[in-house]
Structure 1
């Protein structure tokens, strides 16, 4: 009561300032208590190795800090994807094998299927491709527990060998041959792997058609999410959520060990860090179609991402999360 009487005795402006200070201090305390300061880079012992397809023989994954030894690493985050994964892999492999022939064998690649704690036969499907194409081309990283799409992409990137690193969704919603356009855009802003740069696939050119087909609620949530992305985190990128992004190895080294978000909003934090570090970003229109079986629950997933956007901005603003600066 004494504190309330004290507030009432103050002029309106001073009262407002006191309440604002209390709000900021309370928010800081709440964020400090609820924030995990460091990204989750922990691996269970089984997650450090991949099976070669030759019985139970296993070998350790390489590290992102190692020099590149391939042209491209494709990371495919997969959760309960035994049904949709084969068609995506078949399309990707047809493109990659043709590219290898066209370039006279100088082009090399690997595909890392990251099984994000699936309850179905996702890893089994992946291992069938390992046995068919060999472990130099296809590797399966199986998580002990579900981490989320962001966590799956991060660990796949940290286990890769490519000069360029692409992550693509397991549903095959983006036409894989559009990698040609995405890679061309990356090469224009990054002449070599030592130049940090990103080329992101974009569905923004399809937005008008999507608006016409969606319900009012879904359009409202979509526009609200886009506004929050622009207002809080990332500007200049029209589509932050398309699951088709290509990185130079140096960009991946800067970004993925620093990303905290494990769920759907990880793309936004990734691009937020990139813009803070002044990493060049190209955005390229890609062909995309909706595939049945999405793991997103439209209403709740959008709300969760909106909450994560606000927390991303506040945690960096209060210094609870920090961005590792580029070394000279």
Structure 2
């Protein structure tokens, strides 16, 4: 068999395999995500009274300026320092002003004392400022963030990692960025800002050159490989898609999270991919970031897993196995 024949049959074989994969993905995929939420997960407990209170419906108008969503899986050790910093910043802002906020800790099926730790803060602040969403099973970070978002009352919604790696005061940088994009300030006109679409993402890209020095060559190659996959299959103008510090308007959160399929680590990239498809403005803002011990991400394995997930996410959208609900509405 000559080279031409080998190339022909090889190409035909690869095309057949790709076609089979596409047909399989279409067959097993739901076009729009099915958002599962048990009856218990629709309620939170007031630890001061013991009463069960139902979370609001996301389609309601916002009643607060800011909701802070904190996904937490077995974070009893790292959660208190993060909450102390977060609450101190928000309370200082609220003092002597009309600024209203809430914190929603989403326990993602935790089996340690994460919920007990959060309840201490809830007792202190009260349920108007602090609520705990207990998920019965582990959904993954994306699933936890989504259900926290859908339980929020804010005009603007921030999700922040429970490890406190990002300086919480950098929230003001993200707010300023969205004020410039929207030409409106959510502190002065929360309903107007809530109805607009924009996202500001915290970024560690400016710290990359420093971190490379301490990394092995192999890990550095994998990191750049992951960035290349993100550039090819997700978004091109965002250098750091994975930083757990993102601020969204209420409308942007609704448009993106109602179509989010991925509930594990790659959800950030899909979130930004959806925003790109919907032409939602996204700004990237450098933030102060410190690595905190106890991360549940295994660098090499997680990068490989997320890289594979990104390719599958892109492919599913390209072949129509997945679609974006907001595009259908428009």
Query: Shared topology, TM-score over 0.5?
Result: yes
In structure 2, C-alpha distance between the alignment counterparts of 1:172 and 1:41, rounded to whole Å: 28
Q: Does 1:82 align with 2:76?
A: yes
In structure 1, C-alpha distance between the alignment counterparts of 2:114 and 2:169, rounded to whole Å: 24
Residue 41 of structure 1 deviates from its aligned partner by 1.1
Q: Does 1:141 align with 2:133?
A: yes
Question: What SS does the aligned partner of 2:272 have?
Answer: helix
Question: What SS does the aligned partner of 1:325 have?
Answer: helix
Question: Which residue number corresponds to residue 58 of structure 2?
Answer: 64
Residue 55 of structure 1 deviates from its aligned partner by 3.8
Question: Which residue number corresponds to residue 3 of structure 1?
Answer: none
In structure 2, C-alpha distance between the alignment counterparts of 1:311 and 1:66, rounded to whole Å: 34
Q: Which moved more, 1:271-280 or 1:24-33?
A: 24-33
In structure 1, C-alpha distance between the alignment counterparts of 2:27 and 2:277, rounded to whole Å: 25
Aligned length: 319
Residue 20 of structure 1 deviates from its aligned partner by 4.7
Q: How does 1:47-196 map to 2 (within 5 A)?
A: 47-101=41-95, 104-190=96-182, 191=184, 192-196=193-197
In structure 2, C-alpha distance between the alignment counterparts of 1:240 and 1:226, rounded to whole Å: 9
8 Å contact 2:158–2:245 — kept in the other structure?
A: yes
In structure 1, C-alpha distance between the alignment counterparts of 2:110 and 2:49, rounded to whole Å: 22
Question: Which residue number corresponds to residue 33 of structure 2?
Answer: 39
Question: What SS does the aligned partner of 2:68 have?
Answer: strand
Residue 36 of structure 1 deviates from its aligned partner by 4.5
Q: Does 1:211 align with 2:212?
A: yes
Residue 176 of structure 1 deviates from its aligned partner by 0.3
Structure 1 residues 95-122: Cα deviation after superposition (integer angstroms, max 9, x where no partner): 0011112xx3311000000000011011
In structure 2, C-alpha distance between the alignment counterparts of 1:20 and 1:132, rounded to whole Å: 61
In structure 1, C-alpha distance between the alignment counterparts of 2:126 and 2:153, rounded to whole Å: 15
CA RMSD of aligned residues (A): 1.8
In structure 1, C-alpha distance between the alignment counterparts of 2:296 and 2:9, rounded to whole Å: 47
Question: Which residue number corresponds to residue 4 of structure 1?
Answer: none
Residue 16 of structure 1 deviates from its aligned partner by 5.7
TM-score, scaled to structure 1? 0.93
**Structure 1 segments unaligned to the other structure (5+ residues):** 1-6
TM-score, scaled to structure 2? 0.92
In structure 2, C-alpha distance between the alignment counterparts of 1:144 and 1:217, rounded to whole Å: 38
8 Å contact 2:31–2:320 — kept in the other structure?
A: no
**Structure 2 segments unaligned to the other structure (5+ residues):** 185-192
